[in-house]
Amino acid sequence: MKDISILKRLRSVTLDRQGLLQPSRFGQGKLAVQNAVEHLGYIQIDTLSIVERAHHHTLWTRIPDYQPEYLDALVTERKVFEYWFHAASYLPMKDFRYVLTQMLAVKHHPSHYYNADPKIMKYVMDKIRAEGPKKSRDFESESKKAGSWWNWKPTKLALERLFMQGDLMICERHGMQKTYDVCERVLPQNVDTTAPSPIEFAEYIVKTYLRAYGFTTFKQIIHLKTGAELKKNVVDVLNAMLEQGVIEKINVLGIPDIFVQSGLMDQTFNFSISSVRLLSPFDNVIIHRERAKQIFDFDFRLECYTPKEKRHYGYFCLPILFGDTFIGRVDCKAHRKEQRFELIQIHIENMEIEVEKWIASFIVLVRQFATFNGCQVVTLTKVSPLKFEKIFQQSIQAC
């Protein structure tokens, strides 16, 4: 099989595993959200709200009837929890034991990221244990009392440190407002709290990537993870799975060894070439930038942290996926007070696929996404190349 055919097959494999080939891959309603988080392994949390926040956007892309309150409810019901994957994320509660390694590492080693005052940490912990769950603003209001010797910043730092080392968990969330409680009051009684051995942890991350993507590379598995022991264990796990026939290794020019679940490359997928997806910049499919370039030939970087004069595409661009091809990106903003969703600039990057083949589906999707963002009107400011602006303006007005 030629490299181009292998890559096309890998795209189908990963889009299927990611739940982007079928409209209801994970079911419907709140249960679908739980299914998606458990299958994908994590959903990254982001605070930016130019459009609906990344965790909600990522789930909306996969679950047609998704509502943000579903995710908040699953936190309250202890079906998912918040911690760190490669970044702040929602994780399946059944996987709790696999974050214990990092929690213990934070607890027993000084970290300049969470260098909280031990006295304030004890005060915060004692207060929550005695009085019940607290938000950071509860401590902020107390800091304004006459004679207070603490203030919001140290107590916020203490909350974060206690959270990262596993003494506190987030028991409830409303928007970006988190409520903390002691870990033992949050964890369900049936959750395994046995810390995994190093080889068990390596097996966990390998199997998580394989389940969520269908294939992986060594570099993707250890992305943002450190330690010679972990790297060795990942290699050992991959070699053992190869010997057992659970996975197979394939090679594509310019890409390190790819490990694919056995039999996946021969499967037939129900693939609608007319489907259009508007992804979050933090979507699981796109978040590993090198992987997106290797498999989809799509060079994507989020530019909101780039100085304005150095941006090529815009502040908060969303990748546009048509079938198995990324055809461009669109810089968006939800003007919620005006109930107006602005397409600041649509960047069309793939000229091999005629715009007429996907524009109608794209406009319908944009209007659905606008509604999800609490907007009723869609406006378009600019299209690149400019020659396509007229057809897009006409399509928006006609829909």
> What phi-psi label fits residue 27: left (phi over 0), alpha (psi between -120 and 50 degrees) or beta?
left
pLDDT (average), residues 32-61: 96
- Residues 223-243 pLDDT 10s: 888 889 999 999 999 999 999
From the list 143, 136, 200, the residue with the least C-alpha distance to 162 is 136
Calculate mean pLDDT across residues 180-202: 96
Mean pLDDT over 269-296 rounds to: 88
pLDDT tens, position by position, 207-228: 999 999 999 999 999 988 888 9
**Sign (positive or negative) of CA dihedral 348, 350, 355, 358:** negative
Does the N-terminal peptide bond of residue 319 adopt cis geometry, omega within 30 degrees of 0?
Answer: no
Query: Is the pLDDT confidence value at 149 over 60?
Result: no
Residue 266 has pLDDT above 80, yes or no: yes
Give me the pLDDT at residue 1, please.
57
- How many Å apart are CA 382 and CA 206, to the nearest integer? 43
**Average model confidence (pLDDT) across the chain:** 92
Helix (H/G/I), strand (E/B), else coil: 275: coil
pLDDT tens string 86-114: 899 999 999 999 999 999 999 988 777 67
- Mean pLDDT of all residues in 22-44: 95
Q: What is the dihedral angle through the alpha carbons of 241, 242, 246, 248, rounded to the nearest 10 degrees?
A: 140
Residue 183 has pLDDT above 50, yes or no: yes
**What's the rounded mean pLDDT across residues 27-33?**
97
Quick check: 6 pLDDT over 80?
Answer: yes
Res. 352: pLDDT tops 70: yes
- At residue 265, the pLDDT reads 92
What are the residues whose beta carbons fall under 8 Å from the beta carbon of 78, sequence distance 6 or more?
93, 186, 187, 188
pLDDT value of residue 148: 47
For 277, what's the count of Cα atoms within 13 Å in the CB-facing half-sphere?
28
Pairing state between β 134-135 and 177-182: antiparallel
pLDDT at 161 (0 to 100): 94
What's the pLDDT score for residue 272?
59
Assess contact for 43 and 3: CB atoms under 8 A: no
115 — alpha (psi -120 to 50), left (phi > 0) or beta? beta
Q: What is the DSSP string of 330-384?
A: EEEEEETTTTEEEEEEEEE---SS-GGGTHHHHHHHHHHHHHHTT--EEEE--EE
Q: Above 90 in pLDDT, residue 253?
A: no
The answer, yes or no, to whether residue 151 has pLDDT greater than 90, is no
Q: State percent of the chain over pLDDT 90.
A: 81
pLDDT band at 275 (very low <50, low <70, confident <90, very high): confident
Whether 254 has a pLDDT exceeding 80, the answer reads yes
pLDDT at 33: 98
- What confidence score (pLDDT) does residue 147 get? 44
Given a contact cutoff of 8 angstroms between Cβ atoms, the answer to whether 47 and 38 are in contact is no
Domains annotated on the chain, with CATH: 3-96+192-266 (no CATH), 110-186 (1.10.10.10), 301-398 (3.40.630)
- DSSP label of 240: H
pLDDT of residue 293: 95
Kindly report the backbone phi and psi dihedral angles of residue 325, in degrees, each rounded to the nearest multiple of 5, phi listed first: -125, 130
